[in-house]
Structure 1
Amino acid sequence: MNLWVPDPAPRRDAEHERAVAGFLEGWGPRPTELSADLPVSFADQCEALIEARPAAMSSIMGLFPPDVVDRMKARGIRWFATATTVAEALQAEAAGADAIIAQGSEAGGHRGAFDADRANAQMCGLMALVPAVRDAVSVPVIATGGIADARGVVAALALGASAVQIGTAFLRGPEAAIVPAWADAIGRAQPEDTTTTTAFSGRLGRSLRTDYIAATEGADAIAPLPYPLQRSATGPMRALGATENDLARIQAWAGQSARLARNAPAGEIVRSIWAEARAALAQ
């Protein structure tokens, strides 16, 4: 079970928030009340997971506090810490992580960078990141980012990973239940059809390139609000996009191997990828 480590509270700027609201009004209902508050506090989230006692708790965008780590380990819960750089991986190992999830820049969705301001400048592709992290830490490494078929699994294992984590490859399956426009676009997407953006949440993430993203990149575009205020601001637009099956308004996360995603049940995808990977490794 995964938790996001929250960023420090964002600085509020009423004028900037009004400007962003005005821009977003052209894409959906005008956002009214913006919030930076979590529906459930991070401390309570950690408490709930420790009580649930999953086999593993994973973190992204930072590290669990020492007291949480101590309680996890006392209950036999493993900690899988997401890292986007070697420096982050070393911090996670020193803090007690049992495994490092090395997230390459190919990954869809939010970047797991500890420092949001450095997420773009420190993007590393999985081919370079996995062996560097493997050489730096003594705990197992789990590779993620751009892995969507057996070839990616074999490559990651050859680079030194002990396992892989797959995301976008499952999005077209029935369990994901994403809107058809998003699922269809994923199936057509080439690697260059994705881009990184802060325009949905204020945190850097990889998405399909859409008309909304193009509009936020214009010369006269208004800079997004800090996370999570931008996420709150784009909520009405994203909800409308999902209701109307409109890709331009959807937070259409996708990794760079999106085109390999199949419309099949998750279990079938896992069995197929692993069977093909085992066959390739046996050659």
Structure 2
Amino acid sequence: MPFTFDELQVPIIQAPMAGGPSTPALAAAVIRAGGMGSLGVAYLSGDRIAQDIRQTRALCAGVAGPLNVNLFMFPPAFRVDAERATAAEAALAPIAQRLGIAAPKLPGNAWHPPLAEQLDAIWSERPEVLSFHFGLPPQDVIHRAHDLGIAVAVTATSPHDASTIEAAGADFIVAQGIEAGGHRGEFEMSGDAPDGLTCVALVEAIRKDIRVPIVAAGGLMDGADIARALASGAAATQLGTAFLLCPEAGTTASYRALLRRTAQLQDRTVRFTRAFSGRWAQGVENSFMRSIDSTATALPFPAQNALSGTIRAAAAQQHDAEHQSCWSGRELRRIRELPAEQLMQRLAAELAQHR
């Protein structure tokens, strides 16, 4: 049977944070605690996706619960102008030198795994939910998912996007407020920094004309936040930043240290940048963001993501948070450091107090 929100003991979806924080251990812990676990697999091969889904199921220890697997809708292949590519490479060269690695060079145009390969793994493993970020999947993908009993969800950042998603036949909508950390799920890549509705305001705007369930996402850190989101008309909530310091998350040690420090001292801004990937994403400001944003050389997504990859990897190995993408939502100051199951229990208890 296709997923319904009645299956959730706790109306919480752990956000599918691609690029590291999302792990089978984290997803399984959330499932064991009565929520929906998620795997952010946008950059993974089909074989790795299948492996991670199986590992998540094994870690659930016999607990049956919904698993969400999330993909990006990458743009069609494109060529980067040689002059732009040279400028982008030149902007990264001094950073690479400081890290002691070769200056990055833009690889061909195979900047991400083929969608067909990723989907083959999903059709084989059949998670309960398949979700998409950065736009709608092809219609045949939605039909195939439904034929296999897999529910489909798509991120919306505006009421217009939500209407488009519903018309395409998606089963539910993830309403991403401006507070949310990580990549902004806009359908089109915009030149200007995002300026959108808050999580609750977006849910309220969408529900006026939408019949499918809505999941509220962005800035939700405790049970009171969840209660407000549900009262606004959401069927459930999606939390990402709240889970970043859980031991089960794949957040690197230096990334964790930066989150702790920023939450405690509030000495850094959480803001949007295109510096790491070429798409707007929100995180803790660091040296890389300041350096690349000031040059305005970031290439379109996913070219910039491919170009900056060696720098991000080297920075992680060297415990250097100044040159990693340390994504975070705007309510970072309220983050808690607990094992995921304990955090879920705490959130459920707080929600019960505020309902």
Q: Same fold (TM over 0.5)?
A: yes
Q: Secondary structure at the match of 1:216?
A: helix
Provide, for residues 202-225 of structure 1, a one-character-per-residue CA deviation record: whole Å limited to 9, x for no partner.
Answer: 01100101122112233xx14201
Q: Measure how far apart 1:185 and its partner are.
A: 2.1
Q: Aligned partners of 2:163, 2:286: CA distance in 1, in Å?
A: 36
Any residues of structure 2 matched to 1:44-193 within 5 Å, and which? 44-117=117-190, 120-121=193-194, 123-187=196-260, 188-189=262-263, 190=266, 193=269
Are 2:177 and 2:199, in contact at CA under 8 Å, matched by a contact in 1?
yes
Are 1:181 and 1:247, in contact at CA under 8 Å, matched by a contact in 2?
yes
Are 2:91 and 2:297, in contact at CA under 8 Å, matched by a contact in 1?
no
Are 2:111 and 2:302, in contact at CA under 8 Å, matched by a contact in 1?
no
Q: Residue 197 of structure 1 aligns with which residue?
A: 273
CA 1:119–1:162: 2 relative to 1, 3 Å: farther
Any residues of structure 2 matched to 1:238-249 within 5 Å, and which? 238-249=312-323
CA RMSD of aligned residues (A): 1.8
With normalisation by structure 2, the TM-score equals 0.75
Are 1:10 and 1:227, in contact at CA under 8 Å, matched by a contact in 2?
no
What one-letter code is carried by the residue in structure 1 that aligns with 2:80?
R
Q: Secondary structure at the match of 2:146?
A: helix
Residue 256 of structure 1, aligned match among 321, 325, 330: 330
Provide, for residues 127-149 of structure 1, a one-character-per-residue CA deviation record: whole Å limited to 9, x for no partner.
Answer: 32110111120011100111111
Q: Residue 6 of structure 1 aligns with which residue?
A: 74
Q: Aligned partners of 2:71, 2:235: CA distance in 1, in Å?
A: 22
Q: Residue 213 of structure 1 aligns with which residue?
A: 289
Q: Residue 236 of structure 1 aligns with which residue?
A: 310
State percent identity of aligned pairs: 35
Q: Measure how far apart 1:150 and its partner are.
A: 1.1
Q: Measure how far apart 1:44 and its partner are.
A: 2.0
Q: Residue 26 of structure 1 aligns with which residue?
A: 94
Q: Measure how far apart 1:26 and its partner are.
A: 1.2
Are 1:201 and 1:228, in contact at CA under 8 Å, matched by a contact in 2?
yes
Q: Aligned partners of 2:192, 2:341: CA distance in 1, in Å?
A: 33
Are 1:191 and 1:257, in contact at CA under 8 Å, matched by a contact in 2?
no
Residue 343 of structure 2, aligned match among 269, 274, 278: 269
Worse-matched range after superposition: 56-65 or 188-197: 188-197
Q: Measure how far apart 1:277 and its partner are.
A: 0.6
Q: Which runs of no fewer than 5 residues in structure 2 stay unpaired?
A: 1-68
Q: Aligned partners of 1:144, 1:9: CA distance in 2, in Å?
A: 30
Aligned length: 279
- Which 4+ residue blocks in structure 1 deviate beyond 3 angstroms? 118-122, 189-192
Provide, for residues 190-247 of structure 1, a one-character-per-residue CA deviation record: whole Å limited to 9, x for no partner.
Answer: 49720101100001100101122112233xx142011111011111111111011111
Q: Residue 280 of structure 1 aligns with which residue?
A: 354
What one-letter code is carried by the residue in structure 2 that aligns with 1:196?
F
Q: Aligned partners of 1:39, 1:90: CA distance in 2, in Å?
A: 28
CA 1:121–1:111: 2 relative to 1, 3 Å: closer
Q: Measure how far apart 1:122 and its partner are.
A: 5.3
Are 1:191 and 1:258, in contact at CA under 8 Å, matched by a contact in 2?
no
